[in-house]
């Protein structure tokens, strides 16, 4: 091989290596970046149907944070999620119980998944972080046993009004925000934090 040919080969090898490294870097950047998609649901039935789609994708240790104003459709979406996970129970708002528990279908070769539906709005009513004599949301949640649920392989956690105490949630969770525009219907924003691969995968699957 001539010197010129060897130089061209070395240059080509270097370019290929650089291209490969760039591809890996881009893939890593994509995994690290937050993901987001906004979907439009024209009515409550469509909101519940989106919940069914999401429920069919959820697995043990998943956490879904639901935010939105009163009447935005959080519980309607949860009803769809619970149905999509194979539960025969109709989900209701945990207004007074604080935590509702449902049983989903059993994954192949495993016990049925437990679904925990939490309302932080009601928890927050009894919490005042500025008053050391009053339990915080996190302390109340621990009292209810949620610390044992978060990240458990046999459980899925659905948290309404999650923005009242974001620190309660695991880092890799799906963020769902429901907005009721004046024109009607619901805008449902699905998002993941940066570096949250499971939530990113859920967002991608629901696009």
pLDDT of res. 94: 80
CATH topology of domain 35-206: Rossmann fold (3.40.50)
pLDDT of res. 126: 53
- Ordered per-residue pLDDT tens for the chain, 207 residues: 554 444 444 444 544 444 444 433 444 445 567 899 999 999 999 999 999 999 999 999 999 999 999 889 999 999 999 999 999 999 998 877 778 999 998 877 788 899 999 888 866 655 544 444 444 556 556 666 677 788 889 999 999 988 888 888 899 999 999 999 999 999 999 999 889 999 999 999 998
pLDDT of res. 146: 72
Instruction: Give the domain ranges of the chain.
Output: 1-32, 35-206
pLDDT of res. 150: 81
CA atoms within 13 A of residue 181's CA, in its CB half-sphere: 12
Taking CA atoms, 29 is separated from 14, 35, 68, 122, 199, in Å, by: 22, 12, 30, 39, 15
Lookup: tokens for 89: 């129970």
Does the pTM surpass 0.85? The reply is no
């Amino acid at each position: 091989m001539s010197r010129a040919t060897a130089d061209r080969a070395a240059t080509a090898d270097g370019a290929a290596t650089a291209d490969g490294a760039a591809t890996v870097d881009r893939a890593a950047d994509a995994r690290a970046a937050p993901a987001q998609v906004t979907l439009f649901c024209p009515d409550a039935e469509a909101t519940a149907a989106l919940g069914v789609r999401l429920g069919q994708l959820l697995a043990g240790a998943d956490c879904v944070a639901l935010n939105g104003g009163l009447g935005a459709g959080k519980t309607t979406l949860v009803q769809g999620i619970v149905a999509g996970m194979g539960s025969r129970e109709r989900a209701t708002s945990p207004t007074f119980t604080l935590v509702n528990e449902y049983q989903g279908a059993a994954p192949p070769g495993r016990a049925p998944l437990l679904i925990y539906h939490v309302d932080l709005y009601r928890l927050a009513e009894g919490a005042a972080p500025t008053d050391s004599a009053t339990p915080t949301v996190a302390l109340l949640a621990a009292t209810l046993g949620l610390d044992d649920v978060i990240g458990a392989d046999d459980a899925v956690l659905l948290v309404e009004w999650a923005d009242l105490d974001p620190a309660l949630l695991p880092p890799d969770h799906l963020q769902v925000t429901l907005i009721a525009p004046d024109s009607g219907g619901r805008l449902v924003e699905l998002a993941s934090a940066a570096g949250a691969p499971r939530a990113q995968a859920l967002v991608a699957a629901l696009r």
